[in-house]
């Protein structure tokens, strides 16, 4: 129990706070293709979605990260470095720095169309613990 006038607990908190690392840099990255719509291949196939970086679910770690100065606008830098490890050669001709940009902290509406796509339209989703990135990378499923 901390008694009034006991400042050692505050000193310990200061020491811990100074060593907080960007959580986006140390989470476990993964990627997957998410289907937007099915296509028939006989016409133009179109889809739209929102590209953005956001938190998923409830997380005490996420709340603490935000509290200690790592909101989405800062965490994306660590995420970019982390996802570069997952896709070292980039992805479909783009580097992770091009895919995960600061503008993804704000929503970006994406509209796309493919001719003669006979499967489905997909977008690349990146996950890293409680962070999710709906990227601007999309394709007609091969």
pLDDT digits (tens, 9 = 90+) for 120-133: 999 999 998 888 98
Choice among 3-7, 52-56, 88-92 with the minimum mean pLDDT:
3-7
The average pLDDT across 1-19 equals 48
Q: Could you say which architecture CATH assigns to the domain 22-140?
A: 2-Layer Sandwich (3.30)
- Residue 46 three-state SS: strand
Contact 133, 125 (CB under 8 A): yes
- Model confidence at 35, pLDDT cuts 50, 70, 90, reads very high
Q: Tell me the C-alpha distance between 17 and 47, whole Å.
A: 45
Q: What is the pLDDT of residue 120?
A: 96
* Percent above pLDDT 70 for the chain: 73
The average pLDDT across 59-67 equals 68
Pinpoint the alpha helices (H) of the chain.
8-17, 23-26, 60-67, 72-86, 96-99
Contact 135, 100 (CB under 8 A): yes
Q: What is the pLDDT of residue 49?
A: 95
What are the tens digits of pLDDT across the range 79-116? 888 888 777 766 777 777 777 776 667 788 999 999 99
When mean pLDDT is compared over 23-27, 94-98, 134-138, the highest value belongs to 134-138
């Amino acid at each position: 129990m901390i008694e009034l006038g006991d400042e050692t607990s505050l000193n310990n908190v200061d020491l811990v706070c100074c060593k907080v690392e960007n959580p986006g840099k140390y989470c476990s990255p993964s990627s997957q293709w998410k289907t937007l719509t099915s296509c028939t291949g006989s016409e133009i196939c179109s889809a739209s979605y929102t590209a953005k970086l956001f938190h998923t679910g409830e997380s005490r770690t996420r709340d603490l990260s935000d509290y200690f100065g790592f909101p989405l606008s800062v965490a994306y830098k660590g995420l970019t470095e982390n996802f570069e490890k997952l896709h070292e050669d980039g992805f479909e001709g783009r580097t992770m720095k091009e895919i995960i940009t600061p503008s993804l902290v704000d929503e970006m509406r994406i509209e796309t169309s493919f001719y003669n796509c006979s499967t489905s339209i997909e977008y690349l989703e990146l996950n890293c613990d409680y962070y999710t990135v709906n990227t601007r990378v999309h394709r007609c499923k091969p």
